[in-house]
Amino acid sequence: MELLIATLLLAGAGGGTSQQKTQLKGERTLHAEGNGLVYIRGRGSLTITGEGSLWYLDLAGDAQVPEKVAGDGDEWKFVSDIGSFSISGSDFIVMALGKGLVIDAEGKGKAQLAGKGIFEVHNRSDAWGRELRPVPYGPSPIKSGGKD
């Protein structure tokens, strides 16, 4: 089964007991697997692996990406072969199209998944749809079209 996992690490998360940390982590993560189109706007960190292509945009100007795919400026960057891609920052967008995708997200954001697959968020599972539909994750998801 192909795996699509998105991980966004929430900056400054920490403190509390191990049980509290585990609970917070579960509330701030998205796990999905499948083939198709993925659109994620979030903050924290995100890792995607699989076959296909992706585009990313650093809206805040502070994103960290692997040197081999890093670019200058504030425009969309293209990665022709996903392989393994990671990004972390305070406001970014990643769009991916492919199969066998694996995405881990922890933090705060909104994913939209179209194709064939499943996802888990806030301790519930569901299937991807034929059309893009919002899947918020985190304590208070980022609203479309602006910063929260």
Length of the chain counted residue by residue = 148
Task: Say if CB 29 and CB 106 are below 8 A apart.
Answer: yes
Determine, yes or no, domain membership for 144.
no
Is there a domain that residue 142 lies in? no
Per-residue CA distances from 40 to 14, 22, 98, 141 (Å): 24, 23, 14, 11
Residue 129 falls inside a structural domain: yes
Structurally, how many domains does the chain consist of?
1
Q: Is residue 128 part of a domain?
A: yes
In a domain, 147, yes or no: no
**Residue 51 falls within a domain, yes or no?**
yes
Range of the domain at 95: 4-137
Q: What is the pLDDT along the chain (148 residues), one digit of tens a residue?
A: 232 323 222 222 223 333 333 333 445 789 999 999 999 999 999 999 999 999 999 999 999 998 766 665 568 999 999 999 999 999 999 999 999 998 899 999 999 999 999 999 988 899 999 999 899 988 754 555 555 4
Is the residue at 148 inside a domain? no
Helix (H) or strand (E) holding 20: helix 18-27
Whether the model pTM is above 0.85: no
